Amino acid sequence: MNIRNTSSVIPVTGYAGDVSPELAWHWVQSGEAVLVDVRSDAEREWVGFVPGAVPLAWKQWPGMALNQSFDDAIQAAVPAGQKAVLLCRSGVRSIAAAKSATALGLEAYNILEGFEGDADAEGHRGSRGGWRHRGLPWRQN
């Protein structure tokens, strides 16, 4: 997905909205938001992570079972008055997590394209959008 306007919130139903990786990072840098990485521990360890992001899996590998501690942990991670910007691999789990966080009373946003972006014709990620592709901070162990 090519995001033309990186400074706008795209309205949705069920959570505060979809935002570009660039807008999410701007909010984090300005202290308006907490970045919550909802990928599994294995994904963050092997694929890469955003320094300073709160590591809080929505589902955990293997089996991808829902994290029963998610609700309590996200409420503890996001101070009152701040936004939660949620990041996953491609922007699917982060939607579910944003809906859950919203139901808890948080102002929660999904980060479009996720960490790795959309798959290309060969099924590979990393070249069609995403946090890493857009040159935002990340590291790999």
Q: Give the tens place of pLDDT for each residue, 109-131.
A: 999 999 987 777 876 666 677 89
What the block records as the tokens of 67 is 């994290």
Task: Flag whether 140 is in a domain.
Answer: no
CATH of the domain at 37: 3.40.250.10
The range of the structural domain enclosing residue 32 comes to: 8-79+89-135
What pLDDT was estimated at residue 56?
97
1 domain-assigned: no
pLDDT at position 3? 42
Number of domains forming the structure of the chain: 1
In a domain, 63, yes or no: yes
112: its two tokens: 């479009």
31 within domain boundaries = yes
> Per the domain annotation, does 70 fall within a domain?
yes
- DSSP string covering 81-126: T-EEEEE-SSSSHHHHHHHHHHHTT-EEEEETTTTT-B--TTS--S
18 found inside a domain? yes
15 found inside a domain: yes
pLDDT profile of the chain (141 residues), mean per 10: 65 97 96 97 92 95 88 97 95 94 98 86 72 91 85
Residue 113 lies in a domain: yes
- Contact at 8 Å (CB) between 104 and 98? no
pLDDT at 2: 41
